[in-house]
Amino acid sequence: MLAATVRLTRDIDLAEECVQDAYAQALTTWSHSGVPDRPSAWLTTVARRKALDELRRAVALRRRLPMLLIDEVEPPVKIGEFPDDRLRLIFTCCHPALNVDAQIALTLRLVCGLTTSEVARSFLISESTMAARITRAKKKIAAAGIPYRVPAASELPKRIDAVLAVVHLVFTAGHTAPSGSELVRRDLVERALDLTRMLRRLLPTDADVAGLLALIRLTDSRRATRTDAAGRLVLLEDQDRAQWDRDAIDEGIQLVREALRRRPPGRYALQAAIAAVHAEAPAWEATDWRELVALYDLLLTIWPSPVVALNRAVALGFRDGPAEGLAALDELGAEPALAGYGYLPAARADFLARLGRVAEAGSAYEEALLLTENASERDFLARRLERLREAWH
């Protein structure tokens, strides 16, 4: 809705206001007349009508001071039959005039519908810091007259890194929702997949695009088995691999091979290769942890990230034993970016429990619970903690 309205207004703030007004009107109208057959179409139509009203009232000013310009110097890339409003908005937000963090944050907020709090958690920073960053980015778009379009082919290489980072974060937020009652936000997963396929059509030979599409397909192939019939989280080691999506895995394997041909391989290709190792293992016990640690080592050299280091520590623990894994995790304890990251104490709790250090494991699970807002993950951690206490006593 926002992307369609921005296409009309060329003004992100005005489009946001019109979309919010449409939701407010729906609360009143639908309570009397009922929800329409096509609620999203109803909301989009109302938002666009409100935008037209605003534009008519401010037409003179809009002509003198357009907030988003159309640049006709070089024809933009055609996207064929794809609905490209969202992609236009992503490329607007990912303009080189903004720093990369601002590009990603603004796109997650405006295009993908994440709350400021959810975006902040993706960056492992405070909500107030993220709110200020988003506000500054929107003002810069307005002041710089950044074009609202898919760039010309010659401009794509300068913009694609930030766009891929955005889509990856969208998928990550959908694969495991930062908050809420459901483990997976299917809307975000499907949105990330659709956008990546659009990018694949735009850049069919780009190794990073192929790598990201491979990563999404391989990781999402496990979606049906990540929760049980009651909606409770199921760990990778306990999932029914016969229920994994083999078509998605086959497509992902083919794509990751393509992406790995580039030397050196990019971060999405390496992440997809990690997902492929899990996807190709016939059972948890057959997982090639040696290869996984080696892939994480390569990934850390090209994309040093605290989260990658954490995942490497976990893989190390399964390769060399829980004591080694715990030692690697404890080395990350002073990393500021992981201070509020619930997966660190959760991983420590698991290794501590495997080592029989029950009291310390219980404390780590309690810490993980304090840092976790997703209800499905909280339920899993609480059940683990309860079993630990029962065994202790």
Domain C-terminal end among 173, 189, 204: 204
- pLDDT surpassing 80 at residue 208: yes
292 lies in the same domain as 282:
no
Whether pTM > 0.95 for this model: the answer is: no
- pLDDT surpassing 70 at residue 67: no
pLDDT band (50, 70, 90) for residue 5: confident
Q: Which tops the pLDDT comparison, 45 or 148?
A: 45
Domain C-terminal end among 287, 322, 353: 287
Which are the contacts of 206, defined by CB distance < 8 A and separation ≥ 6?
160, 199
Which residues does residue 179 pair with via DSSP β-bridges, in sequence order? 373
5-19, 160-174, 198-212, 223-237: lowest mean pLDDT where? 5-19
Number of domains the chain contains: 4
- pLDDT surpassing 90 at residue 219: yes
80 lies in the same domain as 186:
yes
Residue-level pLDDT at 382: 96
Pure H helices in 34-155: 39-57, 59-64, 85-93, 100-110, 116-123, 127-144
Share of the chain above pLDDT 70, in %: 91
CATH number of the domain within which 332 lies: 1.25.40.10
Domain that holds residue 356: 288-393
23 lies in the same domain as 53:
yes
Q: Which tops the pLDDT comparison, 179 or 284?
A: 284
271 lies in the same domain as 303:
no
72 lies in the same domain as 198:
yes
Answer left, alpha or beta for residue 298, where phi above 0 means left and psi between -120 and 50 means alpha: alpha
**What's the count of helices (H) and strands (E) in the chain, helices before strands?**
19, 2
162 lies in the same domain as 269:
no
44 lies in the same domain as 123:
no
274-278, 285-289, 368-372: lowest mean pLDDT where? 368-372
60 lies in the same domain as 78:
no
153 lies in the same domain as 28:
no
Residue-level pLDDT at 326: 97
- pLDDT surpassing 50 at residue 362: yes
Distances (CA, A) of 351 to 232, 342, 354, 370: 22, 15, 5, 19
Residue-level pLDDT at 159: 78
177 lies in the same domain as 84:
yes
What pLDDT digit, counting tens, does each position of 290-320 carry? Answer: 999 999 999 999 999 999 999 999 999 999 9
Average pLDDT, whole number, for the chain? 86
Angle at 49 between CA 45 and CA 50, to 5 degrees: 120
121 lies in the same domain as 162:
yes
Three-state DSSP state, 180:
strand
- pLDDT surpassing 60 at residue 240: yes
What pLDDT digit, counting tens, does each position of 77-130 carry? Answer: 454 444 457 777 777 777 777 887 888 788 778 777 778 888 887 777 788 888
What pLDDT digit, counting tens, does each position of 150-191 carry? Answer: 777 677 777 788 889 888 988 998 899 887 888 999 988 998
Residue-level pLDDT at 285: 96
152 lies in the same domain as 225:
no
Domain C-terminal end among 287, 302, 319: 287
Assess contact for 297 and 305: CB atoms under 8 A.
no
* Other Cβ atoms within 10 Å of 34 Cβ, number: 8
